[in-house]
Amino acid sequence: MTEKTTHFGYQQVKWDEKQRRVAGVFDSVADNYDLMNDVMSLGIHRLWKRFAIEQSGARPGQRILDLAGGTGDLAARLSRMVGPQGEVVIGDINASMLNVGRARLLDRGISGNVRFVQANAETLPFPPNSFDCIIIGFGLRNVTDKQKALESMYQALRPGGRALVLEFSTPVLPGLKTAYDFYSFRVLPLMGRLIARDEDSYRYLAESIRMHPDQEKLRQMMQQAGFEDCDYHNLSGGIVALHRGFRY
């Protein structure tokens, strides 16, 4: 019987090994994660995240899951939108990222309506119908079984709720792919080495983007998980896409 495998960047690894390897990447980059995001995207990641938050429909009193929420930059904004009667749950499989996020939100005086939960996206530890919105920002590509994660998100949503997947995707502008590939495989690992002292982790991140489903494939996966009215918005020429689906 052939042993089940999956990809870790461009490598093929045992199915149950990917989670451990991804954990190693984020243990390594946690302290420099936000700084590297600013450097890598020239700050544009903040605009991508702002657009995602605008599409969340978050209102006072709602309960929102910020999945793969890590250092808490999405949750900080969402917590203001749901107010003291609402709640934002930051779920992340990686304890190092959660610790960084908890410290940073406390430094900003954000704590009353934010809760941290170490959670695997494939098997969310929440009852059905728990959240009005689930958002996962730049985390789905690191999940071993993406389809299972989408199905788990669907179950945790309340009827009328929505799921948002903000993720690197496939460039659609003519000529953009060549420049983007050069940046990803030549410049990005160098930045990782010089700034975060971790070239390998940032090479993995570049490779993981290329292995992630493209826009249409991910839309189909969301439909398969049960979501309805699924659509997506290309950002920065398709370098990033925001997918949206509803549970009715």
Where residue 98 sits, what CATH number does that domain have?
A: 3.40.50.150
- pTM for the structure as a whole: 0.93
Domain count, the chain: 1
Secondary structure letter of residue 185 according to DSSP? I
Position 55, amino acid? Q
pLDDT in tens, 42-98: 889 999 999 999 999 999 999 999 999 988 999 999 999 999 999 999 999 999 999
Question: What number of other Cβ atoms are within 10 A of residue 246's Cβ?
Answer: 19
Q: Which domain does 221 fall in, by range?
A: 5-246
pLDDT in tens, 179-218: 999 999 999 888 888 877 888 888 888 899 999 999 999 9
pLDDT in tens, 148-177: 999 999 999 999 999 999 999 999 999 999
Question: Does the structure show a pLDDT above 80 at 135?
Answer: yes
Residue 162 three-state SS: strand
Instruction: Give 125-147 as a 3 state SS string.
Output: CCCCCCEEEEEEECCHHHCCCHH
DSSP-H helix ranges across the chain: 18-29, 33-41, 45-54, 73-82, 95-107, 146-156, 176-182, 188-191, 199-211, 215-224
